[in-house]
Amino acid sequence: MKRDLSRRTFIQKGLAAGIGLAVMNPVLSAMSSETIVLAKNGRAKATIVLSPAPSATERFAANELAAYLHKITGATFPIATMEEKPKGTLILIGKDTNEPGPESFRIQTKGDQLLLTGFDDSGVEFAVYTFLEKWLGVRWLWPGELGEVVPRNTTLSIGKIDDAQQPDFLWRDRGPGGALWGATSGPTEMHERARLMGITAAHQEEVKRWERRNKWGGWKVYGGHNIAEIFPPQKYASTHPEYYAWVNGKRAVPGPDFDHKHGGQVCTTEPGVISTAAEWVNQFYDDHPDYQGVHISMNDSGGFCECDRCRSLDTGKMMGGGGIDAQETKGAAVRKAIITDRIFTFANQVAERVQKRHPGKYIFCFAYGPMILPPEKIEVHPNVVPQYTLWSAYKHANPGLKQEHDKIAAAWAKKARLAGIYEYHINGSWPGMHRLTPAYYAQNIRYLRQQGIRLYQTQSGDEFSTNGLNYYVTGKLLWNASQDENMILADFYEKGFATAGPAVRRLHERLEKAWIDATKGGHDVTCNSIEDRGLAELFNSELMSNCSNDLDAAAAAAPTQTIKRRVDFLRQGLHYTKLTVDAVTTVKALGANPKKPSVSAALDACRQRLQFVEERKNDYIFPYFWVRYNDEQRSFLPSLAHLQALLDTAEG
């Protein structure tokens, strides 16, 4: 706390005393010019100033600002601390705890000084990035240097500024966390598993930096499907078999084939389960005091406890089973018991125990599958956050589905003090082809904000060439839901593509309309089954040809080589979509007794797709993790080895 106060003094008083400038003096401000010159003819006219003991994040923010000012003007901007007593025009970077709350910031001119201050480290970072974006024209369209828009101007000046901001959503996360890749060994969390697959740490760091520059962030929440981590079978299967669910007349204790994601549920009314979960959460907060929330969500799929004690907490009502949980496991739609009351009774009991040791910390629990509807017999503990798995705004071309999702979200918002959302920008049955619906994400975010929901996580990937526009618009609106997504889009095309912008916009609107037309009747176009014809019908030859023509027009209109390269980046995304559709189409044509020519065609199409995917997996074109997930965890497309074996035995 003392360290924060020292930074507050730095902003409000320290500079006035240490440098001799009354930084908060309104008389001095009124007497000064409203124009501050930062650079002139390629020479720096300002010094970036930090507090005497800046945090690592503050130093990083100062270096980011200096780097981008150099890119814009060609000038080298010095960075100093208050103790060095720099003279002239100053850019002050630091914390000011007078700001209204976490992540809030203020950008303000005072005399010949520019103040970039935040309530905390995140606020300081966001002040710098917002200044670069809003006043200097920098944009970060997608990760990597190609997605960076930096205007060039050797002379740089700013007028009077006073802009204070804070986020509309407290949690703005491109997830997921927790167990995702089912495996008997090795990591199940997405980012760790992706590194094993060859996604580089540099790639992941660049994505994270893109997120920060576009003000994703907020609360720190750990996990997702966490039960396997809280109750590892290697620790409890033999010592406490009673911890596991009672299913079909016996304990469903996970065996050696347990994949640490599906099944392996626990008996949530077993006293030892409650105490063990509470102690696990308490230990987590002991080790990670900077986190606001942690999941105790059930594993994916079914296998929930059938003991009398658990069932006594249920309402006895049933629901259909065709939701995201069924699709993610290729399950059929079946009727199953609603178990929300028992699951949130468990969450309440854990939260109550955690509050005694870590008051104010939160327990998260997915509202998902058989617990997607709010409880009827109990209230939700004030420190339990139900995270409703809204599946998904990309379906909202269908009014009935939108109404259903809105109704459930509103019910959870009413039931809980704090409710969260788990969106699906991508899912296991969609390996990152084009699915552009920025308008529906925008409408949904505004609706959620109106309901008082301020915690938002989405299942995401790195498919910035195909669906990056969804992430770009979503991030902007989670920070400020009052923005007009049409203005965000217009700026994206203008700043990123200049005279090629209209053709790029035509491409995106064409793809968006195709998705709307394919789904407005309620059909969910997926890669859930090779027999589903929706994918080929959506990405038909006419649509793909027209999209290619749009990109040709954009390339012809591009005024610079950089913009031509951006157009080509989008072309690579269209190429990936076409390769996937070609592979699906040729495999689907095999039938029960395929001939060698058709098997050869399928093998060639799948090989071309796989080669492209492996060569370009770190290039932000498609979501490599989800491509592998779809093919291996879901077995959507056959392996090359399987097709080769089929070719070897097929008749001519």
pLDDT digits 0-9 by tens, 276-326: 999 999 999 999 999 999 999 999 989 999 999 999 999 999 986 555 555
Strands (E), 425-494: 455-459
> Does 272 fall in a domain?
yes
Compute the C-alpha angle 254/180/222, nearest 5°.
100
User: Could you tell me if 226 and 112 lie in one domain?
Assistant: no
Q: Residue 61 maps to which CATH number?
A: 3.30.379.10
Number of domains in the chain: 3
Q: Tell me what the mean pLDDT of segment 350-360 comes to.
A: 98
Task: Say if residue 247 is exposed, middle or buried (CB neighbours under 10 Å; 0-12, 13-18, 19+).
Answer: middle
**97 and 234 within one domain:** no
**Are residue 610 and residue 509 in the same domain, yes or no?**
yes
- 100/243 same-domain check: no
**Could you tell me the residue range of the domain that residue 568 belongs to?**
499-523+533-649
The single-letter DSSP state of residue 116 is: E
pLDDT reported for residue 652: 79
User: Token pair of 469, please?
Assistant: 């526009």
pLDDT at 332 over 70: no
631/636 Cα distance (integer angstroms): 5
Residue 196 lies in a domain: no
Domain assignment of residue 34, yes or no: yes
Q: What is the mean pLDDT of residues 598-609?
A: 97
User: Predicted confidence band at 551 (pLDDT cuts at 50, 70, 90)?
Assistant: very high
Choose between 111 and 33: higher pLDDT: 111
What DSSP state is assigned to residue 631? I
- Residue 592: inside a domain: yes
> What confidence tier does 532 reach under pLDDT thresholds 50, 70, 90?
confident
306 to each of 250, 554, 629, how far by Cα in Å? 10, 59, 31
Q: What is the mean pLDDT of residues 618-631?
A: 96
Choice between 16 and 637, residue whose per-residue pLDDT is larger: 637
| Tokens encoding 319 | 């629901």
536 or 576, which is more confident: 576
Which pLDDT belongs to residue 319? 83
For the chain, give the mean pLDDT: 92
* 363: number of Cβ within 10 Å: 28
Per-residue confidence band for 10, with pLDDT thresholds at 50, 70 and 90: low
Mean pLDDT of 223-244: 96
Section 398-418 average pLDDT: 97
Please check whether residues 34 and 160 belong to one and the same domain.
yes
pLDDT confidence of residue 591: 85
Q: pLDDT-derived band of residue 642, with 50, 70 and 90 as boundaries?
A: very high
Mean pLDDT of 129-146: 98
pLDDT for 33 equals 56
Same domain, 247 and 157: no
Q: Within this chain, do residues 19 and 116 fall inside the same structural domain, yes or no?
A: yes
Closest of 609, 390, 635, 632 to residue 528, by C-alpha: 635
In a domain, residue 396? The reply is: no
pLDDT at 330 over 70: no
Q: Is the pTM here over 0.75, yes or no?
A: yes
What integer pLDDT is reported at residue 334 of this predicted model?
56
| Residue 507, SS3 per DSSP | helix
Q: Average pLDDT of 201-209?
A: 98
- Domain edge (last residue) among 150, 165, 180: 165
Task: Find the mean pLDDT for residues 472-488.
Answer: 98
Q: Are residues 27 and 112 in the same domain?
A: yes
Domain end marker among 365, 397, 432: 365
Q: Looking at the structure, do residues 159 and 228 belong to the same domain, yes or no? A: no
Local confidence band at 530 (pLDDT 50, 70, 90 cut-offs): confident
- Pick the more confident residue, 535 or 44: 44
pLDDT at 80: 97
- Do residues 263 and 152 both lie within one domain? no
Q: Is 15 part of any domain?
A: yes
Asked which of 314, 338, 365 is the last residue of a domain, the reply is 365
Segment among 22-31, 74-83, 175-184 with least mean pLDDT: 22-31
Bond into 374 cis (ω within 30): no
Q: CA 334, CA 576: separation in Å to the nearest integer?
A: 35
Residue type, 227: I
Instruction: Find tokens 């992706």 and name the residue.
Output: 194
User: pLDDT tens, 419-451?
Assistant: 999 999 999 899 999 999 999 999 999 999 999
* Tens digit of each residue's pLDDT (9 = 90 or more) over 26-66: 323 333 458 999 999 999 999 999 999 999 999 999 999 99
Q: Say yes or no: 224 and 154 in one domain.
A: no
Q: Has residue 16 been placed in a domain?
A: yes
Indicate whether 331 pLDDT > 90.
no
The answer to whether residue 642 is domain-embedded is yes
What one-character-per-residue DSSP string does 358-422 give? STT-EEEEEE-GGG-SPPSSSPPPTTEEEEEE---GGGTTSHHHHHHHHHHHHHHHHHSSS-EEE
Averaged pLDDT, 262-278: 97
Q: Do residues 302 and 235 both lie within one domain?
A: yes
Count the helices and strands in the chain (H runs, E runs).
24, 23
Maximum alpha-carbon separation in the chain: 91
